[in-house]
């Protein structure tokens, strides 16, 4: 500590950078992280025609998640899309918390972990991630 009781720091901070960070002028994804929240089987794949995209649905493919708040069967419905093709849904017994977070503005995606044909039904297992 100096004799005149000034606060001294070993870390040098650029005041301009500090102002830009605190004002929100910089969009830095360094602090963004992804949190895995759920592992589940995709519901409703038996009602989808997936034979045209099945070959592209490989492990680690990202699926877009979209809320279907007006879904007549489930007010918390979350559809999963590969490109423009709806592949199914997050199961009803697992979707409420994620749906509420999506409604509050949080972003999510799912990655395919496994797939297997069981007769004419394509079983898809996914992991769901929240971008924070």
Overall average pLDDT of the 77-94 stretch: 96
Give the residue, 120 or 87, on which the prediction is more confident. Answer: 87
Instruction: Please report, for the chain, the start and end positions of each structural domain, with discontinuous segments joined by +.
Output: 31-131
Torsions phi, psi for 36 (to 5 deg): -75, 125
Q: What pLDDT was estimated at residue 85?
A: 94
Q: What is the pLDDT of residues 20-51, one digit of tens each?
A: 767 766 665 555 689 999 999 999 998 888 88
pTM of the model: 0.75
**DSSP per residue, 83-116:** TTEEEEE--GGG-HHHHHHHHTT-EEEEEEEEEE
| N-terminal to C-terminal alpha carbon distance within the chain | 39
CB-count burial class (<10 Å; 0-12, 13-18, 19+) for 118: exposed
Query: How does the average pLDDT of the chain come out, rounded?
Result: 87
Query: The CATH number of 31-131 is which of 3.40.50.150, 3.30.70.2330, 3.10.110.10, 3.40.1410.10?
Result: 3.30.70.2330
Q: What is the pLDDT of residues 90-118, one digit of tens each?
A: 999 999 999 999 999 999 999 999 999 88
């Amino acid at each position: 500590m100096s004799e005149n009781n000034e606060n001294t720091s070993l870390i040098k901070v650029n005041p301009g950078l500090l102002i830009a960070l605190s004002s929100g002028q910089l969009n830095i994804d360094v602090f963004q992280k992804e949190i895995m929240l759920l592992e589940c089987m995709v519901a409703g794949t038996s009602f989808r025609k997936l034979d045209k995209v099945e070959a592209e649905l490989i492990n680690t493919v990202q699926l877009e998640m979209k809320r279907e708040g007006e879904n007549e069967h489930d007010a918390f419905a979350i559809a999963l899309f590969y490109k423009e093709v709806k592949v199914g849904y997050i199961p009803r017994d697992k979707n409420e918390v994620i749906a509420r977070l999506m409604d509050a503005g949080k972003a999510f995606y799912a990655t395919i972990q496994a797939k297997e044909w069981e007769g004419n039904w394509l079983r898809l297992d996914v992991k769901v991630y929240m971008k924070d």
